[in-house]
């Protein structure tokens, strides 16, 4: 083949083209796998998919592939299985209380270096109560995203009907009982409207314990702390039981979390405690004027715990992908973006700046109920159970509450046995408990 031959020139052209495209393919966008769950009612998956589509449209070098993975439990199971098989997703929304499990598996990375990088995030702008479940050993591991706290929902029409001020929800346990008794409607022996419903559920009970002066877990960073058997914890459950049997403002028997909104919408109860995440669907569905208030305070004043999911970046995916994941998270939690998410979902926008930025600023002025949860955050603390074997301890606590609601055990019996079972799990998980 001579240098001037046509074949030679062709060959040079072909090779150059190959090299050029080869060079271009090195700059192919990074594709990130993003696992996310949906924990409350409403078309939230569409909202997330639309945010991701907007991110992808505005970023040439990073493409995010959103993967809906079911509820929180299924999502966490899939993430754990993926981590153990060595093929984790790149970025995931998982429960804030899963932090210790994820760190224990070495499945996630701390984010402090990113927070202070040249793509910084003002982490102090995020509300303290939400950050308490996002930090461990002095490091930030999760960025709050779909965060909630329970609030009191009440039927203003019912308040007016019985002569109560519709703008003044009960502020204390005593007022809760007093208002509740006024709101109960009887038809012979049958109660046609109850005064109040609080679910037989660990997350609901944990609030009453805080109001009585006992956080059920550690307020700090101790994954081995569970306090179910203290006098205050017992007092809180005794109070809940008294609403059923002594004051008769709450129906006897198990009260599953998911049935409360239906009872409330149907007018079968005048007040409920539920997640702020239910606000959007309740606003759309109740046929009466919807009131919201802080959870009534106990002997230790107002109190609530938080809940919901954080963004995590996975370990073992390489620095380049972790950098890209951070760019994505940082884009998602921009004040205007996370404010829009708050409107779409009902979750509390977890950073102060979002509330001062459009579109949430106007929305909050228009829908005052949306701000109740935000202002209650001042009294809110870390979510229980942020412990070793957290999901199992949550379930054990829930079973104790159910046993009391159904009259099977006294609060003391139920909680002492729950404490004992929790201790076994903590010890099995490597905790050293002193007797």
Partner 1 sequence: MKSAPTQFDVKQSQGEGRVQVTRSFTLQSAVQNSGAVAYVFLLPSLVFLAVFTLWPIVSVIWSSFRTRQGREQVFVALQNYERLFTDPIIQQVLKNTLFYVTAGVGFAVIGGLLLALLLNQGLRNIGFFRFPFLATIALPMVSVASIWLFLYSPRVGLFNEILAGLGLPLSNWLNGRELALPALFVVYLWKQLGYFALFYLAALQALPVDVLEAAKLDGITLWQQLRFIIWPLVSPTTYFVSTISVLGALQQIDHVFVLTTGGPNNATNMSLFYVYEQGFKYFNIGTASAMTVILLAVLMTMAILQFVYLERRVHYD
Interacting residue ranges for partner 1, rule: CB under 8 A: 73-74, 76-77, 80, 83-84, 101, 104-107, 189-190, 194, 200, 251-256, 259, 262-263, 266, 268-269, 389, 391-392, 395, 398-400, 402-403, 405-406, 408, 417, 421
Minimum distance, C-beta of residue 281 to partner 1, in the bound complex (Å): 17
> C-beta of 231: minimal distance to partner 1 in Å?
23
User: Least Å distance between CB 211 and partner 1?
Assistant: 24
Residues of 87-109 as b/e, b for ≥16 C-beta within 10 angstroms? ebbbbbbbbbbbbbbbbeeebbb
How many beta carbons lie within 10 A of that of residue 121, not counting itself? 20
Minimum distance of partner 1 from residue 405's CB (angstroms): 7
Which residues is 150 bridged to in the sheet?
275
Q: Is the Cβ of residue 323 or residue 392 nearer to partner 1 in the bound state?
A: 392
Question: In terms of CB distance, is 111 or 394 closer to partner 1?
Answer: 394
148 DSSP β-pair partners: 307
Cβ distance to partner 1 smaller for residue 259 or 281: 259
Min dist CB 67 to partner 1, Å, is 17
Give CA separation, 237 vs 16, 21, 242, in Å: 76, 68, 9
Nearest to 140 by CA among 129, 132, 148: 132
Q: Output the smallest distance, CB 87 to partner 1, in A.
A: 12
Say how many residues make up the chain.
435
- Which is closer to partner 1, CB of 88 or CB of 350? 88
Give the rounded distance of the alpha carbon of 6 from its chain centre: 68
Q: How far is the CB of 269 from partner 1 (least distance, A)?
A: 7
Task: Looking at 144-227, list the stretches that DSSP marks H as alpha helix, in order from N- to C-terminal side.
Answer: 156-161, 173-183, 202-212
Measured from the CB atom, the residue of 3 and 190 that comes closer to partner 1 is 190
Nearer to partner 1, 63 or 406 (CB): 406
Instruction: Report the residue number, 82 or 93, with the smaller CB distance to partner 1.
Output: 82
Identity of the residue, 107 or 291, whose beta carbon is nearer to partner 1 in the bound complex: 107
Strands 290-293 and 150-155: antiparallel
| Alpha carbon of residue 193 to chain centroid | 30
**CA–CA distance, 369 with 365 (Å, rounded to integer):** 9
Alpha helices in 184-298 (DSSP H): 202-212, 231-245, 260-265, 279-285
CB of 282 to partner 1, least distance (A): 16
Residue from 324, 314, 320 nearest 119 by CA: 324
| CA separation for the pair 346, 44 (Å, rounded) | 10
Q: Distances from the Cα of 207 to the Cαs of 212, 380, 414, in angstroms?
A: 9, 9, 18
Report, in Å, the least distance between residue 229 CB and partner 1.
Answer: 16
Nearer to partner 1, 50 or 71 (CB): 71
């Amino acid at each position: 083949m001579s240098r001037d031959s046509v074949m030679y020139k062709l060959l040079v052209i072909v090779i150059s083209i190959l090299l050029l495209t080869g060079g271009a393919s090195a700059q192919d966008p990074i594709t990130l796998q993003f696992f996310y769950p949906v924990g409350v009612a409403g078309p939230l998956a569409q909202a997330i998919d639309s945010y991701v589509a907007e991110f992808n449209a505005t970023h040439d070098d990073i493409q995010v592939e959103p993967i809906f993975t079911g509820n929180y439990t299924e999502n966490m199971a899939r993430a754990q299985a993926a981590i153990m098989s060595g093929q984790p997703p790149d970025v995931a929304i998982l429960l804030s209380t899963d932090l210790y499990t994820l760190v224990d598996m070495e499945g996630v990375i701390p984010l402090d270096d990113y927070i202070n990088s040249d793509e910084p995030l003002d982490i102090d702008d995020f509300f303290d109560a939400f950050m308490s479940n996002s930090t461990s050993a002095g490091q930030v591991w999760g960025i709050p995203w779909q965060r909630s706290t329970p609030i009191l929902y009440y039927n203003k029409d019912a308040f007016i009907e019985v002569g109560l001020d519709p703008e003044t929800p009960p502020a204390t346990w005593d007022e809760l009982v007093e208002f509740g008794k006024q709101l109960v409607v009887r038809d012979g022996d049958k109660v046609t409207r109850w005064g109040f419903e609080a679910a037989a559920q660990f997350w609901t009970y944990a609030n009453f314990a805080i109001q009585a002066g006992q956080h059920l877990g550690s307020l700090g960073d101790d994954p081995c702390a569970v306090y179910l058997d203290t006098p205050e914890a017992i007092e809180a459950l005794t109070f809940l039981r008294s609403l059923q049997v002594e004051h008769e403002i709450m129906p006897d028997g198990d009260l599953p979390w998911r049935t409360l909104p239906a009872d409330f919408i149907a007018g079968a109860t005048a007040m409920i405690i539920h997640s702020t995440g239910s606000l959007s669907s309740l606003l759309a569905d109740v046929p009466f004027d919807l009131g919201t208030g802080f959870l009534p305070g106990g002997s230790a004043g107002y109190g609530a715990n938080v809940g919901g999911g954080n963004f995590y970046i996975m370990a073992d995916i390489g620095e380049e992908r972790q950098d890209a994941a951070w760019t994505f998270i940082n884009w998602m939690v921009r004040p205007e973006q996370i404010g829009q998410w708050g409107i779409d979902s009902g979750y509390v926008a977890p950073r102060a700046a979002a509330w001062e930025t459009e579109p949430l600023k106007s929305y909050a002025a228009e829908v005052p109920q949306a701000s109740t949860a935000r202002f209650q955050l001042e009294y809110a603390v870390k979510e229980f159970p942020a412990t070793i074997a957290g999901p199992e301890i949550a379930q054990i606590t829930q079973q104790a509450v159910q046993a009391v609601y159904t009259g099977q055990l006294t609060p003391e019996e139920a909680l002492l046995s729950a404490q004992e079972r929790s201790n076994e799990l903590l010890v099995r998980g490597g905790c050293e408990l002193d007797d």
